[in-house]
Amino acid sequence: MTQVKNINGITMPNCKCGCWLTHLKKHNRKPVVFCAEIRCTQMFELEGALVQNTEQNDEQWYVIALCDKHRVATDELTIVNMDLIPAMEEPNCDK
């Protein structure tokens, strides 16, 4: 489990992927199917949300997929154990 915070705390200009969900799907090694919240099985209307990891003291913003409910519900969320994808331009974003 991973604890994240600042859900929708900021917006950032998208990379060349066009939107953060596309960025997440491109760089995540596993398919992005469900909302990242630990108990949520919502598969529809997912969007990329920008979050920070509360378990590590870092300022990096990461992209996770959240349903419409969890995008607005809270400022702290427990999500499934996954590799967090940084919300930043990667060399292969334009591919």
Residues of this chain, 62-81, that bind Zn ion according to CB under 5 A: 67, 70
Dump the DSSP string for the chain.
-EEEE-TT-------TTSSHHHHHHHH-SS---S-SBTT----SS-EEEEEEETTTT----EEEEE-HHHHHS-SEEEE-S-PPEESS--TTTT-
Candidate list 2, 4, 7, 15; residue touching Zn ion; CB under 5 A: 15
Candidate list 2, 4, 7, 17; residue touching Zn ion; CB under 5 A: 17
Cβ nearer to Zn ion, comparing 51 with 57: 51
Residue 38 is encoded by which pair of tokens? 């630990």
Candidate list 2, 32, 37, 85; residue touching Zn ion; CB under 5 A: 37
Strands 85-86 and 76-79: unpaired
Q: How far is the CB of 57 from Zn ion (least distance, A)?
A: 25
Q: How far is the CB of 66 from Zn ion (least distance, A)?
A: 6
Binding site for Zn ion (CB under 5 A): 15, 17, 23, 35, 37, 40, 42, 67, 70, 93
